[in-house]
Structure 1
């Protein structure tokens, strides 16, 4: 089975790709950001009068991105517990790692049951977001 999945409860992809693709028992999620699925707004972002980003809330964005990941998992027939590997991209590792890590711990309180995780600091993402997740989950037969 090799099926592309578009989740109605997740924000639209910013490019020409599916939210996820199932290959056998594995589910590969495309990069998922924190945009609101209904409004496309980015939680916690503040803009000046000219529309330039002046501040953001990494905790709000982390909660939102995890909710969007959950929406894609559910649309794919997967559960939160099926996540096995997550790559996290942060645009400001020095400023945001501790706060994002605290939110992560709310969703995965037992490290032994949490998915494997790699966190990378990067210079930019395609929209004015501070965090994006790339996930792999295992599906039941």
Structure 2
């Protein structure tokens, strides 16, 4: 039986669940109302902190799932921040889509997995 480790858990969810050497992060959002650049920057800072708690970092990303509230308006701006954050040669498998996010003030949500 695999050991499961949960980090920053509450009644609804865990921010990180580690199983079989893979850290699965919950979706991360930035402060409501910020620009796409501000939200993406904040999200990636949160992801860095959660990866550190799990004992890993952004050089060990496996997958990334990115949701934009409006692909036509937000995709390029989000990518500029993302591209600066991902270390050269360490890009994960990634998919990006458009979605209605939890509140209208959210423009970007990012979910990642990483090897521990």
Question: TM > 0.5 between the two?
Answer: yes
Q: Structure 1 length as normaliser, TM-score?
A: 0.74
Task: Provide the C-alpha distance between the structure 1 equivalents of 2:18 and 2:50, rounded to a whole number of angstroms.
Answer: 12
Larger Cα Rg: Structure 1 or Structure 2? 1
Give the superposition deviation at 1:78: 1.2
Any unmatched runs of 5+ in structure 1?
A: 8-12, 35-41, 46-55
What's 1:27 paired with? 23
What secondary structure, in the 3-state scheme, does the structure 1 residue paired with 2:14 have?
coil
What's 1:132 paired with? 109
Q: Structure 2 length as normaliser, TM-score?
A: 0.88
What is the Cα-based RMSD across aligned positions, in Å?
Answer: 1.8
What's 1:92 paired with? 70
Task: Provide the C-alpha distance between the structure 2 equivalents of 1:90 and 1:5, rounded to a whole number of angstroms.
Answer: 26
Task: Provide the C-alpha distance between the structure 2 equivalents of 1:91 and 1:102, rounded to a whole number of angstroms.
Answer: 16
Task: Provide the C-alpha distance between the structure 1 equivalents of 2:49 and 2:13, rounded to a whole number of angstroms.
Answer: 17
Higher helix share: 2
Alignment partner for residue 75 of structure 1, among 40, 44, 53?
53
Higher-RCO chain (CA-CA 8 Å, sequence separation at least 6): 2
Task: Provide the C-alpha distance between the structure 1 equivalents of 2:87 and 2:112, rounded to a whole number of angstroms.
Answer: 18
What secondary structure, in the 3-state scheme, does the structure 1 residue paired with 2:90 have?
coil
Structure 1 stretches of at least 4 aligned residues deviating more than 2 Å after TM superposition:
none
Task: Provide the C-alpha distance between the structure 2 equivalents of 1:22 and 1:96, rounded to a whole number of angstroms.
Answer: 31
Query: For this pair of structures, how many residues does the alignment match?
Result: 113
Task: Provide the C-alpha distance between the structure 2 equivalents of 1:114 and 1:25, rounded to a whole number of angstroms.
Answer: 19
What's 1:120 paired with? 97
* 1:58 aligns to 2:36 (yes or no): yes
